[in-house]
A and B are shown apart, each in its own frame.
Chain A
Amino acid sequence: MTAQPGNDAFVVFDHVQKSYDGQTLVVKDLNLSIGKGEFLTMLGPSGSGKTTCLMMLAGFETATHGEILLDGKNINDVPPHKRGIGMVFQNYALFPHMTVGENLSFPLEVRGMSKSEREERVTRALDMVQMGKFKNRRPAQLSGGQQQRIALARALVFDPKLVLMDEPLGALDKQLREHMQFEIKALHDRLGITVVYVTHDQGEALTMSDRIAVFNDGRIQQLAPPPSLYEQPENSFVAGFIGENNALRGTIQELQGDKALVRLTNGELIDATAVNIRERGQETTVSIRPERVEFKPELMPRDAHTIEAKVRDVVYMGDILRARLCVAGQDDFVMKYRNTLGQVKLSPGQSIRIGWHPEDARALDPV
C-alpha cells in the first residue's frame, strides 16, 4: 500500500517509521492518507503501533523516518502547540484545578483571544455538547460521561481542522459508550471536521468510521470502509480481529481465478474464494462468518459443498441462537442463526450438514 496524496488528502503519513530503542520498529513503513472531513479509525490490539501513530501526528513523538504532512505541509518539526490539532485523551485530561469553563477557555486564552470572544465560544462549545449548565463545576464533580463531553468540547472549542481521539470512550460503561459513539459521529457530520480515532474496540470502529485502518505488528493490515472490512477481510488477522470468525485450516486443492477448492485437514472439500492465494497446494486458513453458515438444506446455495458437523452445544442469546459445532476435527466452529418462530431445535450430539456460499468463505493466509 502506498499513500497517494490526492487533492483531498488532508493528513499524509509517508513511509513513516518509528523506533524507541533503535532495535525494533514500533511502526514499520506507514503509508496512509486521510481525506478532509473523513472519520478514520486506527484499530488494533495494544502494542500494534496505533497510538504511536496518533502521538506522532499530535507531535508528542517524533518520526524516526519518513514525513507527516498536514494540509500539504510537512509538520515533522512543528511543535505540538503550533499544529492546531484538537485532541481528546483516553483519561480526558481535564485540568483538575480548573472549572469546566476555565478548561474550555484555556486554548482560547493561550491564543490571546479577548475575554468576550472567549466567553462566547465557551458557551457555544458547551451548548454543543449539552453541558451549558456545568460551566462552573470542577471536573471531579462530573460523571465519566459528562467529563467525556467536556473533553470533546475543549478539543473543538478553538475550531481545529483535525481532531485526534485516543480511546476516548474506553472508561465508560457499555450503554454510555454506545450513546457517545452516536454523539461523536453526529458532531463529526455536523462540523465537517477530520477525525482520527484510535480504539481497540472493533464495534466502536465499525459504528463510527468512514474508513478503518487495522493495525497489527506496526503495520496497517487493511484499510477499508467498515462493510468491506467485515465482509471481505484480506488476511487472517483482520478476519480474526474484526467480528466473530471461524477459521478452518486446509490446503488449496484447485484454483481457478478467485475460486478455490480447499481440502480440510480431515480430507473434506469445501468451496472458497481465494483472496491472498497464489498457487495450488498452498496452506490456507478459510474464514467464514458464523452468521453466514447455513444448516437447512433449502437455504443452501446450489452446488455448494456441504460438510458434516456435530453439534456440541447451543446457547440461547435472545435474538439469535449460537451453536458450537465440531467441524473437520475443530470443535470451536460457531454458527449463528436467527431465533425465528418454529426454528429447528438443535440438540448436543446431533449430526447436521452445514454449508455456505463460496463468496462467504475466504481462503486467506495460514495462521
Chain B
Amino acid sequence: MSNPLDPHAAIVTEAAGLDQGGMLRTADGQPLAKALARSSRRARRRAFFLVLPLLAFVLLTFVLPIGQMLMRSVKNDGFSAYMPQLSAWFEANPDVTEPDDAAWAALAADLEASAKDRTIGIVGTRINYEIPGTRSLFTSAGRKARGGIEPPYREAMLDMDEEWGDPKLWGVMRQASDPYTANFYLAAMDRTRDEAGNIVLAPEEQRIYLHLFLRTFWLSLIITGTTFLLGFPIAHLLATLPMRQSNLLMILVLLPFWTSLLVRTTAWMVLLQQQGVVNDVFVWLGLIGDGQRLQMIYNQTGTIIAMTHILLPFMILPLYSVMRTINPSYVRAARSLGATSWTAFRRIYFPQTLPGLGAGALLVFILAVGYYITPALVGGSSGQLISNLIAMHMTQTLNWSMAAALAAMLLGGVLILYWVYDRLVGIDNLKLG
C-alpha cells in the first residue's frame, strides 16, 4: 500500500491477461477490446431498434421539414422553371449584358407560354422580390402576350412598357435564371446587388433586418436578465422553504403554464394599457397626473414585461432543480469558517447555482429570440422581433425564401451563441433538472 493510512488509496492492479505487447487478451487469446465490442453489439442493436420509431418520427417531422425550409432560402425556381428559353439564353451567354434579338425572342416566347399556363404571376412574384413593383409589369405583359407577340420582339416589348429595357431588370432576371441564389441571405443582411452584380448596402429606407436582428438579441438579453433577477430569489425560496409552503409556491410558479398564452398576454394588455389597471393605480396614488399616463404597452416595454412574465418559469425551474441539490451545509460551513452571509452567498452559494443559471439563461434566451405571439400582440411597432417579420413573410408577402433565410440566420446566431456558451461555461455544466 502506498499510503498505509488510507486503505482507499491502494489500487489493486490486475496484471493477469497482459501479453508482451501490453495488449489485454481474453482467456482464449482474443483481443479484449474486440471481445468486448462483440459482447455489447447485441445490446446495442436492441437499443437501436427501441429508438428507431422515435428516430423516424424526428426525421419525418423535424429534420425533413426544416431541411426543406432551409433549402428554400437558397433555392427559388419561380423564374427559371417558367421562363425556360430565356434561362437557357442567360446560361448560353454568360458575359453578354446587353440582350440581343435571340434574348428578346426568348423573353417573348416564354411570356406567351407562361401567360397561357397562368404561371406568369409566379414569375412576376419572383422578380418582384428583387425589384419591388415589377410584378404588374409581368402580369400586364402576360395579358398582352396571350394574343401573340409579333417580331421584332425588342420593339414589341418596349412598346408594351419602357421598363423592359431597364438593364437592372435584365440583371435581376439573369440572377433569377439560376434557381440557386444567395440573394435572400443578402437581403436578410440588408445587402443587395447593383447592376454590375456587386454586393452593396441596400438603400437606407430598405434596411430593416439587421436592425431587427440586433433588437431581437438585445431584447432577449434584457428579458434573460430580468427573468434572472426575478427568478433567482423565487427559486431560492422554493428550494429552501418547508415542503408545504414550497409546494404552494411551486403551483403559483407553474400556474402560468396551465393558462393559455393568449390569455396571459391579453391580461397584460388589460393591466398595462393607458386606461389600464396599473396606470389607474399610479394616477390614484398621485404618482402621475391623469394627462401623463404611461405608455407601457404596444412598445418595447410591453414586450419586455409580458415576455419576462411568460418566460420566468423557464428560468426558475432549472435554477430550482440545481438549488435543491445544494446542501445547506455548504453555506453553514462558509459561515462557520468566518464568512459573512454576503460572502458566503457570493463565494459559495452563487457559484454552485451556475449550472442552473446557465441552463435557465440559455433556455430563456433561445425561447425569447424566436418568440412570436407576444411581441405581435403587445409589441406595437417598436417591440416587434425578427420572428414577427418571418411570420409576415410566411403569411402576407408569401416570400418563403426570405422567411427561410431570416430563420436560418436566426438559427445560425443561436448556434453561435450556444458555441460561445460552451466555450465560456461548458455545456457539461448545464443542468436542466
Chain A contacts to B: CB under 8 angstroms: 58-60, 79-87, 89-91, 93, 95-97, 106-107, 110-111, 130, 143-146, 154-155, 158, 164, 175-176, 179, 183
Q: Nearest residue in B to A89 (C-beta to C-beta)?
A: B329
Cβ 8 A contact of A158, one of B6, B334, B337, B343: B337
Question: What 1/0 mask marks residues of chain B from 337 to 373 whose CB sits below 8 Å from any chain A CB?
Answer: 1111101100110011000000000000000000000
Tell me whether B46 is interfacial, beta carbon within 8 Å: no
Cβ 8 A contact of B330, one of A79, A93, A107: A93
Chain B contact residues: helix, strand, loop or mixed: helix
10 sample A-B contacts, Cβ–Cβ < 8 Å, listed by A number = A60-B335, A81-B335, A81-B336, A81-B338, A85-B336, A87-B337, A89-B332, A145-B8, A146-B8, A154-B337
Asked if A143 contacts B332 (CB within 8 A), the reply is no
* Chain B residues within an 8 Å CB radius of A111: 338
User: Are A90 and B338 within 8 A (Cβ)?
Assistant: no
Which 5 A-B residue pairings sit nearest by Cβ, starting from the closest?
A: A107-B337, A93-B333, A143-B8, A87-B336, A93-B329
**B36 contacts the other chain (CB 8 A):** no
CB neighbours (8 Å) of A91 from chain B are 327, 329
Which residue of chain A lies nearest to B326 when distances are taken between CB atoms in the complex?
A96
Residues of B close to A146: CB separation below 8 A: 6, 8-9
CB-contacts of B1-53 with A (<8 A): 3, 5-9
CA distance A176 to B1 in the complex (A): 14
Given contacts A81-B337, A106-B337, 11 further A-B contacts (CB under 8 A): A59-B336, A79-B335, A81-B340, A87-B333, A93-B333, A95-B334, A106-B339, A110-B337, A110-B338, A143-B6, A155-B336
Known: A81-B336, A107-B337. A90 touches B329 (CB 8 A): yes
Interface residues on B, range: 20 to 34
What is the bound-complex CA distance between A183 and B338, given in angstroms? Answer: 25
Contact between chains at A110 and B343 (CB < 8 Å): yes
Residues of B within 8 A of A81 (CB): 335-341, 344
Q: B354: nearest residue on chain A (CB-CB)?
A: A97
| Cβ B338 vs Cβ A107 within 8 A | yes
Whether the Cβ atoms of B6 and A145 lie closer than 8 Å is yes
Chain B residue nearest to A60 (CB atoms) is B332
Distance A175 CA – B7 CA, assembled complex (angstroms): 8
Tell me the smallest distance from the CB of A22 to a CB of chain B, in Å.
15
Q: Which residues of B contact A82 (CB under 8 A)?
A: 338
Q: Closest A residue to B350 by CB, please name it.
A: A97
| Chain B residues, CB < 8 A from A79 | 335
B327 touches A93 (CB 8 A): yes
Cα of A148 to Cα of B333 in the assembled complex, Å: 14
The reply to whether B6 and A176 contact each other, CB–CB distance below 8 Å, is yes
A107: B residues at CB distance < 8 A:
337-339
Contacts of A176 in B (CB 8 A): 6-8
Q: Which chain A positions have C-beta within 8 A of B343?
A: 110
Cα distance A130–B339 in the bound complex, in angstroms:
26
With contacts A93-B327, A93-B329 taken as known, whether A179 is within 8 angstroms of B335 at the C-beta atoms is: no
Task: Chain A residues near B347: list those with CB within 8 A.
Answer: 106
Contact residues of B between 387 and 418, Cβ < 8 Å to A: none
Q: Which of B333, B343, B351 has the most CB of A within 10 A?
A: B333
Q: How far is the CA of A107 from the CA of B347 in the complex (A)?
A: 12
Known contacts A91-B327, A106-B347: does B337 contact A144 (CB below 8 Å)?
A: no
Q: Check B336 against A86 for contact (C-beta < 8 Å).
A: yes
- Bound CA–CA A179/B7 (angstroms): 10
Knowing A80-B332, A89-B332, A93-B330, the reply to whether A179 touches B339 (Cβ < 8 A) is no
* Chain A, residue nearest B333 (CB): A93
Q: Which residue of chain A has the shortest Cβ distance to B335 in the bound complex?
A: A80
Q: Complex formed: what's the CA distance from A79 to B327 in Å? A: 20
A164: chain B residues within 8 A (beta carbon): 336
Cα distance A355–B352 when bound, in Å?
62
Cα distance A97–B354 when bound, in Å? 10
CB-CB < 8 A to B336: which residues of A? 58-59, 80-81, 83, 85-87, 155, 164
Min CB distance A110 to B, Å, is 5
B6 to chain A, nearest CB (A): 5
Residues of B within 8 A of A158 (CB): 337-338
Tell me how far the C-beta of A106 lies from the nearest C-beta in chain B, rounded to whole angstroms: 6
Which residues on B sit within 8 Å (CB–CB) of A97? Answer: 351-352
A residues near B352, Cβ cutoff 8 Å: 96-97
Whether A179 lies near B5 (C-beta < 8 A) is: yes
